[in-house]
Amino acid sequence: MKVKKQHRKKKYLHKLNRKRLNRKQRNTGTVPSEIIKEAWDHKKSTYKNLTDMGLANDPNKIIKIPNFKQEKIKQAKVIVNKGEIENIDEETITTVPIKKEVAEKLEKVAKAPRERRFMLPKGQVEFLTYLLDKYGHDYKAMEKDRKNYYQETWKQLRAKIKTFMGIPKQYGEYLQARGLLDKEPDEEELKKQVKALVED
């Protein structure tokens, strides 16, 4: 006797919008880079666009992991054909992308210096300013203070104060409040004055 297959009854889900789901699956996402957006050609595929710009669609294909067996086969072919394959490889490497300036612009943006946005939390700034006001730069006395709840060593406190002094905005506000800086200087001036005080 043949066993009958049990098929699960297919249900139509009213809450699912199939059109929106398919669009979401096909969507590759938006490109945040303005340089790529300007050079993008919507008539071409993603792969073609990226190769024209001198960028890699798949990094695994560009930077290949060397295969021992394939290398040995290449060497053997070179020996047999007396250097004919070497010339073919050189020709394939020397393909210049059409929009190579895009890759150059992206490199410049990547190498450009970025503004440091690191800031210490408010509670930590209050604790460090309290220590600086009370002890100046006597870190061994700071270590014995009652408010040193986490029992940080003088070296840890010194490192924290150095990072605090390395943030021009927060350290500048502290110096302004104590009257050690000019009133409302520019950002560049503030950075210079803070740097001079840190070096002293």
Q: What is the mean pLDDT of residues 176-187?
A: 72
Whether the CB-CB separation of 121 and 106 falls below 8 Å is answered with: no
* Spatial distance between the Cα atoms of 128 and 122, rounded to a whole number of angstroms: 10
| % the chain with pLDDT above 90 | 32
Lowest mean pLDDT among 19-28, 51-60, 123-132, 174-183: 174-183
173 burial class (0-12, 13-18, 19+ CB within 10 angstroms)?
A: middle
Confirm if 183 and 176 have CB atoms less than 8 A apart.
Answer: yes
Please tell me which of 16-25, 68-77, 96-105, 125-134 the model is most confident about, judged by mean pLDDT.
125-134
Task: Give the model confidence (pLDDT) of 71-83 as tens digits.
Answer: 899 889 888 887 5
Report if pTM > 0.85.
no
Is residue 191 predicted with pLDDT exceeding 70?
no
Please list, residue by residue across 179-200, b when 16 or more beta carbons sit within 10 angstroms of its beta carbon and e when fewer do. Answer: eebeeeeeeeebeebbeeeeee
Q: How much is the average pLDDT of 41-64?
A: 86
Instruction: Give dist(CA 25, CA 22) in Å, integer.
Output: 5
The mean pLDDT of the chain is 83
pLDDT exceeds cutoff 60 at 90: no
Q: Which of 73-82, 92-101, 115-124, 129-138 has the lowest mean pLDDT?
A: 92-101
Rounded to whole angstroms, the Cα distance separating 20 from 145 reads 62
**Where residue 183 falls among pLDDT bands split at 50, 70, 90?**
low
SS3 assignment, position 108: helix
Residue 187 CA: distances (Å) to CA of 4, 56, 159, 166:
80, 40, 24, 14
What are the distances in angstroms from CA 62 to CA 40, 55, 77, 191? 21, 10, 23, 43
